[in-house]
Amino acid sequence: ILDFFWLICRTSAILNELKTLFGSVEAIPVEVLLTRVCFQISEASTLGAKEFLEEFLHKWRYVDDQCCVLGSVETNLNFKEGCDSHFVLRIDKYIEIVELYAVMLLGTVSSDLELAISKI
């Protein structure tokens, strides 16, 4: 039992370690973020995952049908060139995170389907 509780605490701490390693939530590569949160949900340990994803999602601002940009980035920069900059997040990747947050975390784990649907 003690090993299980240690694993739960360790799992939630990994998200904070990723934030420290990359310098900020929004700098964490999307694949790493998605994998870590999915792993945490699969272990039935969502401690901190909801807040972590909310922080990540609030950092981005929708620009067009292809990209989201960091809210703190100057708007006069040309973001549409390839959407490969670390200041730009392709809309499909953003939607993956929104789906994970809304459907899996809010709808499935928290059993609050109405809240999950309202977030989408």
DSSP H stretches of helix in the chain: 2-22, 30-42, 49-58, 91-99, 113-119
Tokens 């929004």 correspond to what residue?
26
Q: Which two tokens stand for residue 41?
A: 């949900």
- Model confidence, pTM: 0.67
pLDDT in tens, the chain (120 residues): 445 444 555 666 777 888 888 888 888 888 888 888 887 777 766 667 888 888 888 888 887 777 777 766 544 444 444 444 457 888 888 889 888 888 777 777 667 767 766 766
Tokens of 39: 């792993």
Q: Helix or strand or coil: residue 24?
A: coil
12 to each of 44, 47, 61, how far by Cα in Å?
A: 11, 6, 27
Residue 84: predicted pLDDT: 46
Element (DSSP H or E) covering residue 90: strand 88-90
**Residue of 51, 58, 62 lying closest to 88 (CA atoms):** 62
Q: What is the pLDDT of residue 120?
A: 60
> 74 with 52: CB under 8 angstroms?
no
Write out the two tokens for 90.
């392709």
